[in-house]
Amino acid sequence: MGWIGDALAAAFELIVGGDPELGEIVALSLRVSGTALLVSSVIGLPFGALLGIVRFPGRRGVVIVLNTLMGLPPVVVGLGVLLLLSRPGPLGHLGLLFTPEAMMIAQSILITPIVAALTRQTIEDAFDEYGEQLRSLGAGRLRSAATLLYEARFTLLTAVLAGFGRAIAEVGAVQIVGGNIAHVTRIMTTTIALDTNRGEFALAMGLGIILLLLALAIVGSAEILRGVANRAA
Amino acid sequence: MSSRTFPIIALAIAMLFGCSPADETSEPEAVFIILGSTTSTRDSGLLADLTERFRARTGIEVRVIAAGTGRALEYGRRGDVDMLLVHHRPSEDAFVAEGYAPYRRDLMYNDFVIVGPPDDPAKIRGTSTATDALAAIAASESPFLSRGDDSGTHKKEHGLWAEAGIDPGPHSGTWYRETGSGMGATLNVAAEMAAYTLTDRGTWLASANHQDLEILLEGDPPLRNPYGLLPIDPERHPHVKFEAAETFIHWLLSDEGLDAIDAFKVRGEQLFFADRSDSGGAAAVSD
């Protein structure tokens, strides 16, 4: 069990030592996954809410496709975005490949279906319960969607956190479209993969522990926020 | 955005970013080039050393994408990188012949070694050539790990099998195992499985996870591993930063660059040897 001690010691050293490179990769991880979270929320929440409320032919099929996309393999998303942003690709002229922006695009694509699908389920359930009431108040579809999004905000926080968790933890997509360039596109998960390849297992595991602590801090803060808002409401 | 919760989360995350260091992407005037290279040069730390010296001298930043030689060449064909530093001569010559690079220059070399378990079930310690060693491994059906990823090392291994007159393909999954991974990851697997593998000496020395593995064969001339420099031809891809790439190539081939390569050591050992035979030619080409 020596490896646990080695990993904890490595994590402790990294944090206490104030390694500037660690600060850099942690900040970039948060910036990339945080941006992906914002993009996926802006798209996924309204889309999921409308899909939960509006009835149209083929809706079942859209729901099935959306639920399937929750399982998008990161490496496939990475490859797709690579082909999109590579010079001969449709967006190649933008020169975005191997930049943090490319990583944000890939992670946004990866987690938007998660946020949208979980939102769809939540809003659909809420609409089953309150739909009658909303209609009697004369609320249209957009108004209903907005109201239910607000009313279900605490449940939806879990949907958004699920998306963020997926983004901050994935390595397959960012490795391909970011290239793991030191000081430019190197984030926590790509560093862990690199250290593993170097045989520096304790260091890699130490970084893994830091990544988990970071996730804990974010989810914990969200939970506290939810508690405070709940009491205020 | 319809709920108030999300702007709050966004704000919390934005506050976390507040302490982040300078944003690299907000400096459009900074000159940088993208170098497609191999895991061996990156994982050993050589490229970090060279690119830092070069940046201090010229202000040009070199962003390194470490991939296998096959993938690096594909990035070059697509114009996603400005130049290449790779190690498979036949592929490099084809790359120039196809018109993707105007020329190729020798930069340095190191060598491949065959590592394996100390009890050496195939008895390759007694052999003197790589082909004999591979033949012995095949004859004894001892576990051998192949990169299986179209990298320079993988291509080299294929060439050696061909020379030994053996096709390991049909044995894939039995004693011949393809990891489909980088050199470092493959060494990790070799260490766990007590298997033989072909590795460049740089990655071997830089790896912190040898367990029981030892170098069992080295010094055979065909195991020499030359690295070549290739700038991407701007006639093919007008957007590439050809001038900055050539500046880097000239610097690498200058005494300053070559001396830095020779001076680079990991755990007290020199990993790469500057090839001084080509250093005079580069300047003439740019005219």
State CA A86 to chain mean position distance. 24
- CA A85 from chain centre, in angstroms, equals 21
What count of other Cβ atoms lies within 10 Å of the Cβ of residue A4?
11
Which residues of chain A neighbour B191 with C-beta distances below 8 Å?
199
- Range of weakest confidence among A10-24, A61-75, B272-286: B272-286
Q: Which residue ranges make up each domain of chain A?
A: 20-186
pLDDT in tens, A132-187: 999 898 888 899 999 999 999 989 999 999 999 999 999 999 999 999 998 899 99
- Final residue in a domain of this structure, among B207, B223, B239: B223
Segment among A57-66, B2-11, B36-45, B121-130 with least mean pLDDT: B2-11
Beta-carbon contacts of A40 under 8 Å, excluding residues fewer than 6 positions away, are: A108, A111, A112, A114, A115, A116, A160, A163
- Relative to beta strand B105-116, strand B265-266 is unpaired
Residue B277 lies in a domain: yes
* Owning domain of residue B73: 31-110+226-285
The minimal CB distance from A199 to the residues B4, B34, B188 is found for B188
Mean per-residue pLDDT, B31-52: 91
With beta carbons less than 8 A apart as the criterion, state whether A11 and A209 touch: yes
Q: Is the dihedral of CA B92, B97, B102, B106 positive or negative?
A: positive
**Among B181, B200, B223, residue at a domain's last position:** B223
Q: Which of B183, B205, B223 is the last residue of a domain?
A: B223
Residue B209 sits in the same domain as residue B149: yes
Domain assignment present for residue B18? The answer is no
B10 contacts A181? CB cut-off 8 A: no
Contact B188 A196 (CB under 8 A): yes
Task: Among B62, B73, B80, pick the best mutation site for testing chain A contact (most A Cβ within 10 A).
Answer: B80
* pTM beyond 0.80: yes
Q: Are residues B264 and B274 in the same domain?
A: yes
Average pLDDT of span B212-224:
94
In a domain, B268, yes or no: yes
Does residue B6 lie within any of the structural domains? no
State whether the Cα torsion A29-A35-A36-A38 is positive or negative. positive
Query: Is residue B20 situated within a structural domain?
Result: no
Residues in chain A: 233
| DSSP symbol at B172 | B
How many domains does one find in chain B? 2
Q: State whether residue B10 sits within 8 Å of chain A by CB.
A: yes
Can you list the positions of beta strands (E) in chain B? 32-37, 61-66, 83-86, 105-116, 144-146, 176-178, 196-200, 214-217, 224-231, 265-266, 269-270, 273-274
Mean pLDDT of chain A: 92
* Same-domain pairing of B170 and B145: yes
Q: Is residue B161 part of a domain?
A: yes
Q: Are B202 and B218 in contact (CB under 8 A)?
A: no
Query: Which chain A residues have a beta carbon less than 8 Å from that of B206?
Result: 198
Of the partner residues A150, A180, A218, the one whose CB lies closest to the CB of residue B2: A150
Q: What CATH number is associated with residue B230? A: 3.40.190.10
Report which listed range, A101-115, A209-223, B30-44, B193-207, is most confident. Answer: A101-115
pLDDT (mean) for A24-43: 96
| Same domain flag for B45 and B146 | no
User: pLDDT band at residue A1, thresholds of 50, 70 and 90?
Assistant: low
For residues B125 and B79, membership in a common domain is answered with no
Q: Tell me if the domain spanning A20-186 has CATH number 2.40.110.10.
A: no
pLDDT at position B278: 61
**Cα–Cα nearest to B1, from A158, A156, A103:** A156
Q: Looking at CA atoms only, how far is residue B251 from chain A in angstroms?
A: 21
